[in-house]
Structure 1
Amino acid sequence: MTAEAGAGGRPLAGLRVVECATYVAGPSGGMTLAQLGADVIRVDPLGGATDHRRWPLAPNGGSLYWHSLNKGKRSVTVDLRAPAGKELVTALITAPGADAGVFLDNNVARSWLDWPALSARRPDLVHVHVQGHRDGRPAVDYTVNAAAGIPDMTGGESDGAPVNHVLPAWDLLTGQTAVVGLLAALRHRDRTGEGTYLEVALADVALAGVAALGWYADAQLSGADRPRHGNHVYGSFGVDFPTSDGRRVMVVALTEGQWRSLCQVTGTQEVFAALEKALGVDLEDEVTRYHHRETIAAILRGWFAARDVATVSRELEAARVLWGPYRTATDVVRDHEAAPASSPLTEVVQPGIGRLLAMGSPLRVRAQEVPPRPAPVLGADTDEVLADVLGLGASEIGRLHDEGVLAPTGGRG
C-alpha cells in the first residue's frame, strides 16, 4: 500500500508520518492521520511491541485492540537495539521531502529518537512527543483520571469508593491533541520553513479538559467537592428511566424548549404547573430543575414504566425530546446487522483475523464517508518502505534480513 493508494481525495494524501508509539494515545493519533489520507508508517521492534497481544483478542488469538488502533497504516519492524536498526529508523524519520520529516512517538529513554538527535539530521522536522506526565514519569489513562478527580464525582450518592470509568477518554483526547499540534506545526513549517518540537502529556490533557469545564474553578470558589448523583446530569435535568420491557433510556432537558417537549409528550404539564405553584418555583429554569430533579423524575417515571422502549422511542422522537437508549456492545452489533445501510459502522477484512466491525474517520470529506482500511500485518511493509523511502535495493535489504536487523524472510514481524 503506497501513500496514495486508497487516499480517494483525502485531505492529507501524500503526507508521510513515522509513528513509534504504543497503546492508545499515540496510535489513535496516527490512525486519525491515516484515515485522512496520510501514509503513516508504524515502527515496532522485531516481534511487536508490548501492545501487540493486548486484549480483546479474536478467537485465533490476534489482538482486536492492536488491529483496531492501527487501521490504514503501514508496519515496519526493526531490531531497535542494533546500530543498523537505529540508523534505518532515523533515516525513515528524517528522509527528505516536503511532505516528510514528521514524527509521532511516545518513546522513553531512547536518546537517539529525541529532538536534538533527530533535528540535527533534519532541522525542519515536526516532532510530536506524547508523555505520561510532563516531567517524564509514566502514566496511563486510569492513573491520570484518578488524579484528575473524576472517579470521586462518579457513582451513586451512597457509594463509598471512587468509581473508575472503562473508556480511556484521556488517551483518546491526547491522541487528537497530538494530531492538532502536528498539523499546526506543519502549517508553521509551510510558512516559515522551521521545524517544531511539541510535547503533550496525558496528565496535562486530563487537567486541561476538567479545567475547561469549570469544575476546578467551582471547587476553588465553593470550597467543596461536586456531589455524586448517580446518573443524574449535574446542574440540569437528566436521568435514566426504565421501560416496561426492562430496557432503559436516558432523557435530558437542558433548554426550555426541551423541557416543554418532555412535559408535553408525557402529559405532565398540569402536574408540573401545580408543583411550580406549590413550591413557588419556575421549572423552566435549568438550575431549578436540577434542584428538584428527584421530584421531577418521580413524576415522570410512571409514563416510561407504562411503555416499552419501541413506544418510548417513537413518541420521544416525534416530540423532539433529547434522549438516547441504553445499549450494550452486542446491541450495537445487532442493530448494525439489522440495518447496515443506515449504520456508520462497516466491516473490514482484516488479514490474519477475518471480517471485523470497524469505522472510518468520523469526519466526512465533501459529504462523503471515509471508509476504514484494515491494519497491516506486523512488519509486512518493512521491505516495501525501506525500498520506497530509503531507496534500498533488494540485495541490501536481503543482507539486513540475514544479519537479523530485519525479521527473517517469511517470518513474522
Structure 2
Amino acid sequence: MENALQNIKVLDLSRVLAGPLGTMLLADMGADVLRIEQPGGSDDIRHWYPFVEGESTYYMAANRNKRSMTLNLKTDKGRALFEELVKKADIVVENFKTGTLDRLGLGYHRMKSIKPDIILCSITGYGQTGPMNQHPGYDPVIQAVGGLMDVTGEEDGEATRVGTPVVDIMTSHYVAISILGALRVRDQEKKPQHIDLSLLDVQVSSLANIASSYLLKNHISKRSGNAHGNITPYETFQCADDPIMIAAGNDRMFAQVTEVLGHPEWAKEARFTTNHDRIRHREELRGLLQSVFIQKPATEWEKQLSNHGVPCGAVNNIQQVFEHPQVQHRQMVKTSEHETLGEVPSVRNPITSNDKTLPVDSAPPLLGANTKEILEGTFGFNDESIRVLKEEGVV
C-alpha cells in the first residue's frame, strides 16, 4: 500500500493541524505532497512549543514525507505560478477562511477552468455555508460548540476538553477518506469536485451513541468521568500504585472480574446480576471493587484480568506508552533524516498491509526547502530569474 497514491500530486495550502495531518496521510501512501506557504512562513504551528534546535515538535508531528515551497499568492506572479502548478496537480487542499481563495482569484471555479478534473478540499471550522461560515474554528472551540466538552470530565466537575486535538485528528482522517473517494469518482467521471469539510460537522458526527440517545430518546447525556454512562464496571480504579481501566462489557466479563478479585459471589447477587442491575447500584458496586483493587499494583491486576479475558489496561503516561512491549513490537516509532536535526523519530502511520507498514521516507521539510528545485524543474527558471523572484517577494 505504500505506493497506492504514486503519481498523485497534492498542493497543500493548509496550516496548523487538520489539513496537514490529512495530507500527511496521503503522503504516507505515496502521494507527492507539496506544502505551499508564504515567504517567511504562514503556518502558526511552526512557532508552537516545544522546540528542538528551533524546530517545532508540533510541526514535526504533521508534515513528514512532504516537500515545501514558498509562494506569495498575493502577487500576480505568485498566482500565475500557482495556476501552473494546478495544471499538473490532482488535488488542492486548503483551510483558509471561507471566500479567501475566491478573493485571491483562485477559487474552485477558477481552478476547474484551469484543470477540468481538479479536486479541491476546503477545510473550515464551520463549513462553506451557514450563519457561522466566516467564523474561525480551532479544535478546543469546536469541542465546546460541538458538545464533546460537555460530556467529558468528572460528574461534579467542569466540562473538559480532550487532551489531544481530537477534532483536528478526526477531520484529518475525513480529509484523506474524502479525497480517496473523490479520486475514485474522478477516475470514473472525469469531473472536478469541491469537498467542503467542517470541523463542527466532523465533531457532531462523532457524538455517536450520545447523539443517538438524544435523537431517539431525547436523552441528554451527562459527564461521568472515566465511567461509562450505560455500562458498569467500565471505568478506572485506583490500584496500589497506578489506576487501571476496566471495560467489562457484559455479564460474563463482570463474573470474571469478581473471580479474579476473589469475590465470585458478587456476580450472583441480585443487585449485580445484570448490567441493568449494576447501573442501578453503581456506587455500591464501585465501592466494593475499589476496596479490592487498591490492594495490589495495576500491572498485577492487568495480568490476572487479561488472563481471564477481561479488557483492561494500566493508565500509562507517555513515557510508559513508548516503553510498552506491544508498542515496541509493532515498531510504532520510525526514524528519518532531517536536514538540520539529523535522524529524528516519529510515530509511524498505523496502517499495516500484507505485513508491511507505510514508510517514513523523509522528515518534515524546512520552510521552502524545495522551492529552488521546483522553480528550476517545473518552470525552467535559472539562478538569475529565481533571484529576481525572491527580491520581488514572490518566493
Whole-Å Cα distance in 2 between the matches of residues 60 and 207 of structure 1?
39
Q: What residue identity is the alignment partner of 2:320?
A: D
- Corresponding residue to 1:282 among 273, 286, 290: 273
- Corresponding residue to 1:163 among 138, 143, 160: 160
Q: What is the DSSP-based 3-state SS (H/G/I as helix, E as strand, rest coil) of the residue aligned with 1:384?
A: helix
Q: What residue identity is the alignment partner of 1:230?
A: G
Q: What residue identity is the alignment partner of 1:345?
A: V
Judging changes above 3 Å, is the alpha-carbon distance between structure 1 residues 356 and 324 closer, same or farther for their aligned structure 2 residues?
farther
1:229 aligned onto 2:224 = yes
1:219 aligned onto 2:217 = no
> Residue deviations 1:10-45, cap 9 Å, x none?
211221111100111111100000111111101001
1:57·1:65 contact (CA, 8 Å) conserved in 2? yes
- Corresponding residue to 2:357 among 340, 346, 369: 369
* Runs of at least 5 residues in structure 1 that lack an aligned partner in the other structure: 1-7, 407-413
| CA apart distance, 1:258 | 2.6
* TM-score, normalised via structure 2 length: 0.89
Q: What is the DSSP-based 3-state SS (H/G/I as helix, E as strand, rest coil) of the residue aligned with 2:174?
A: helix
Residues 305-320 of structure 1 mapped to structure 2, 5 A cutoff: 305-320=294-309
1:251 aligned onto 2:246 = yes
1:239 aligned onto 2:235 = yes
> Residue deviations 1:285-338, cap 9 Å, x none?
x343333332222222233212112322321222221012211123324447x9
2:247·2:312 contact (CA, 8 Å) conserved in 1? yes
Residues 3-402 of structure 1 mapped to structure 2, 5 A cutoff: 9-95=2-88, 100-108=89-97, 109-111=100-102, 112-134=105-127, 135=129, 136-137=133-134, 138-159=136-157, 161-210=158-207, 213-220=208-215, 222-237=217-232, 238-244=234-240, 246-273=241-268, 275-276=269-270, 279=271, 282-283=273-274, 286-335=275-324, 340-372=328-360, 373-394=362-383, 396-402=385-391
| CA apart distance, 1:105 | 0.9
Which stretch of the first structure deviates more once superposed, 105-114 or 317-326?
A: 105-114
Q: What's 1:410 paired with?
A: none
Q: How many residues align?
A: 384
2:332·2:347 contact (CA, 8 Å) conserved in 1? yes
Whole-Å Cα distance in 2 between the matches of residues 172 and 127 of structure 1?
20
| CA apart distance, 1:193 | 1.2
1:27·1:69 contact (CA, 8 Å) conserved in 2? yes
Whole-Å Cα distance in 1 between the matches of residues 378 and 18 of structure 2?
26
Judging changes above 3 Å, is the alpha-carbon distance between structure 1 residues 342 and 29 closer, same or farther for their aligned structure 2 residues?
closer
Whole-Å Cα distance in 2 between the matches of residues 361 and 260 of structure 1?
38
Q: Which runs of 4+ in 1 moved over 6 A?
A: none
* TM-score, normalised via structure 1 length: 0.86
2:86·2:114 contact (CA, 8 Å) conserved in 1? no
Q: What residue identity is the alignment partner of 2:283?
A: E
| CA apart distance, 1:183 | 1.2
| CA apart distance, 1:354 | 4.5
| CA apart distance, 1:52 | 4.2
Whole-Å Cα distance in 1 between the matches of residues 352 and 204 of structure 2?
30
